[in-house]
């Protein structure tokens, strides 16, 4: 019963979102700007001073999470008695 309520709610919200998106007005067309090349578009964010701390924090967070995830899994399996299917969900 509970799963069907969640799936039904998701379906209704998806339908409402699609309907709202379908009836939203299109933005006015503007003249196309020249697009930078692939290498320049990859290097361009590094020139923004506010981007560098963001990428450093995101990188350290991903590193710490990846390092600790194995220990968290071991703790949940051995000491809490959880199953792999419960952890993966």
Q: Of all residues in the chain, what percent carry a pLDDT higher than 70?
A: 100
- What does the pLDDT look like over 18-59, one tens digit per residue? 999 888 888 888 877 888 888 988 888 888 888 889 989 999
User: What mean pLDDT do residues 62-73 have?
Assistant: 90
Rounded CA-CA distance 2/10 in Å is 12
Instruction: Give the number of other Cβ atoms within 10 Å of residue 47's Cβ.
Output: 8
Rounded CA-CA distance 37/59 in Å is 25
The domain limits of the chain are 44-89
Rounded CA-CA distance 25/32 in Å is 20
- 36 with 44: CB under 8 angstroms? yes
């Amino acid at each position: 019963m509970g799963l069907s309520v969640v799936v039904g709610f998701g379906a209704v919200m998806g339908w409402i979102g699609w309907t709202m998106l379908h009836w939203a007005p299109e933005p006015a067309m503007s003249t196309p700007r020249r697009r930078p090349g692939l290498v320049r578009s990859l290097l361009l964010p590094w020139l923004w001073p506010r981007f560098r701390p963001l990428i450093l924090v995101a990188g350290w967070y991903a590193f710490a999470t990846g390092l600790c995830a194995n220990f968290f899994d071991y703790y949940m399996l051995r000491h809490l008695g959880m199953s792999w299917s419960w952890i993966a969900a």
